């Protein structure tokens, strides 16, 4: 499947298919690959055709999103006389993608980028929309730019049957379904943890998510118009839960928990006529997600992180709320009112 999008002045082609990495652009000698070292170990066969001198292996994880790694790769590119009209292709999840995106946007003032995301999360989220980021002094994504890849190549053979990886990505996927396109959640609900891998269902699921996210990015290429704010649903509370749990609760699950609380707040304030929690809980049940529990104390501890949320301006928090399946609106709410509502939601939903 091929789809094309226009983000600002950039054209982005998204190609999906099973096994497409093997017959793609690595035949082009002008491509330099930044690859997750885990993937090189896991998928040795897939990389055999690529000239080893064109591959730069990086460790996955937050530590690779650093100036140290950035310097290493830049040094390597320079030593190999990598030119401005060459292309950088990354193969990996969001961490490798964030590093490679920043490199491609700064090396010789910018070179072409091809994204080959290999985690479901990176296929439906981080490879899309052009944001990249390096961590600095313990602060996540403090350094970064906007740089869209010319192509996003989604090869589902990297993910097939990986139930755990799907569970981790479901937070962002269900978010797209609740806020932008209900057919995403309908597709999830008409399948289950086994059948989603049959008959190109997973490819369809990914493409619906690509469309949902890209439609938002097309309207707000540089996140200056408030339209991308919809992508923050579940993240105000979710990020705080992640922080309080010291990352014991992973991002995907924290977003799912955050969406439950934020849906309850939206319902209590009268913005939402249906009950998004029913959809969230049906999906987590069908996909056998063992949701971590959070108690009232954890939610209370998360308040201090919410007070520092970057979406707050003059004591007002601007957040998206679901209004009907697949639709949302953006509201302004005083931070102390949000906290009050969060406590009430916590009393109803937390153990």
Ligand X SMILES: NC(=O)c1ccc[n+]([C@@H]2O[C@H](COP(=O)([O-])OP(=O)(O)OC[C@H]3O[C@@H](n4cnc5c(N)ncnc54)[C@H](O)[C@@H]3O)[C@@H](O)[C@H]2O)c1
- End-to-end alpha carbon distance in the chain: 44
Q: How many residues bind ligand X (CB under 6 A)?
A: 27
Q: Which is nearer to ligand X, 178 or 265 (CB)?
A: 178
Q: Contact letters (x/-) for ligand X, 69-108, by CB under 6 A?
A: -----------------------xxxxx-x----------
Q: Which is nearer to ligand X, 105 or 335 (CB)?
A: 105
Q: Which is nearer to ligand X, 125 or 220 (CB)?
A: 125
Q: Is residue 36 near ligand X by the rule CB under 6 A?
A: yes
Give the shortest CB-330-to-ligand X separation in angstroms. 19
Residues 108-147 that bind ligand X (CB under 6 A): 118-119, 121-122, 125-126, 129, 131-133, 141
Q: Contact letters (x/-) for ligand X, 220-239, by CB under 6 A?
A: --------------------
Give the shortest CB-64-to-ligand X separation in angstroms. 8
Strand 151-155 to 10-17 pairing: parallel
- Exactly one of 18, 50, 57, 60 binds ligand X (CB under 6 A); that residue is 60
Give the shortest CB-251-to-ligand X separation in angstroms. 7
Task: Return the range that interacts with ligand X (CB under 6 A); candidates 59-67, 79-87, 195-203, 306-314.
Answer: 59-67
Contact 333, 349 (CB under 8 A): no
Give the shortest CB-19-to-ligand X separation in angstroms. 13
- Exactly one of 3, 18, 38, 201 binds ligand X (CB under 6 A); that residue is 38
Task: Return the range that interacts with ligand X (CB under 6 A); candidates 61-69, 186-194, 216-224, 292-300.
Answer: 61-69
| Alpha-carbon distances, residue 169 vs 164, 230, 254 (angstroms) | 9, 17, 11
Q: Which is nearer to ligand X, 231 or 261 (CB)?
A: 231
Q: Using the 8-state DSSP alphabet, how is residue 197 labeled?
A: G
Contact 241, 265 (CB under 8 A): no
Q: How many residues does the chain have?
A: 351
Contact 167, 288 (CB under 8 A): yes
Q: Which is nearer to ligand X, 25 or 250 (CB)?
A: 250
Strand 151-155 to 112-117 pairing: parallel
> Please, where are the H alpha helices in the chain?
37-42, 44-47, 67-79, 94-106, 120-121, 163-179, 182-189, 201-219, 235-244, 251-268, 276-286, 296-307, 335-349
Give the shortest CB-283-to-ligand X separation in angstroms. 19
Contact 223, 208 (CB under 8 A): no
Best CA proximity match to 180, nearest among 149, 208, 161, 141: 208
* Dihedral sign for Cα atoms in the order 125, 55, 74, 28: negative
Residues 151-180 that bind ligand X (CB under 6 A): 158-159
Residues that bind ligand X (CB under 6 A): 36, 38-39, 42, 60-62, 65, 92-96, 98, 118-119, 121-122, 125-126, 129, 131-133, 141, 158-159
């Amino acid at each position: 499947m091929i789809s094309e999008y226009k983000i600002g002045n950039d054209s982005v082609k998204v190609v999906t298919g099973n096994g497409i990495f093997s017959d793609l652009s690595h035949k082009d000698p002008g491509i330099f690959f930044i690859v997750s070292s885990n993937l090189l170990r896991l998928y040795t066969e897939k990389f055999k055709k690529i000239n080893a001198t064109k591959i730069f292996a990086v460790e996955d994880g937050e530590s690779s999103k650093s100036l140290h790694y950035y310097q290493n790769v830049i040094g390597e590119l320079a030593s190999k006389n990598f030119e401005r009209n060459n292309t950088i292709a990354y193969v990996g999840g969001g961490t490798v993608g964030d590093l490679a995106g920043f490199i491609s946007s700064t090396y010789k003032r910018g070179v072409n980028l091809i994204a080959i995301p290999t985690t479901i999360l990176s296929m439906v989220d981080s490879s899309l929309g052009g944001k990249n980021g390096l961590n600095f002094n313990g602060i996540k994504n403090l350094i970064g730019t906007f740089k869209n890849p010319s192509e996003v190549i989604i090869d589902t053979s990297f993910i097939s049957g990986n139930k755990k990886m799907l569970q981790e990505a479901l937070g962002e996927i269900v978010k797209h379904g609740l806020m932008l396109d209900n057919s995403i959640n309908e597709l999830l609900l008409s399948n289950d943890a086994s059948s989603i891998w049959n008959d190109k269902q997973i490819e369809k699921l990914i493409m619906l998510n690509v469309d949902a996210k890209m439609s938002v990015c097309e309207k707000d290429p540089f996140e200056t118009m408030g339209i991308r704010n919809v992508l923050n649903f579940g993240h105000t509370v979710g990020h705080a839960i992640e922080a309080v749990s010291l990352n014991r609760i992973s991002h995907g699950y924290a977003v799912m928990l955050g969406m439950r609380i934020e849906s309850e707040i939206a319902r209590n304030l009268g913005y939402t006529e249906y009950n998004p929690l029913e959809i969230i809980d049906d999906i987590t049940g069908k996909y056998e997600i063992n949701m971590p529990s959070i108690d009232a104390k954890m939610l209370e501890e998360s308040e201090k992180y919410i007070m520092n949320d970057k979406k707050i301006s003059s004591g007002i928090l601007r957040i998206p709320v679901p209004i009907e399946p697949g639709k949302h609106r953006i509201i302004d709410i005083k931070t102390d009112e949000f906290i009050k509502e969060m406590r009430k939601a916590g009393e109803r939903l937390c153990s």
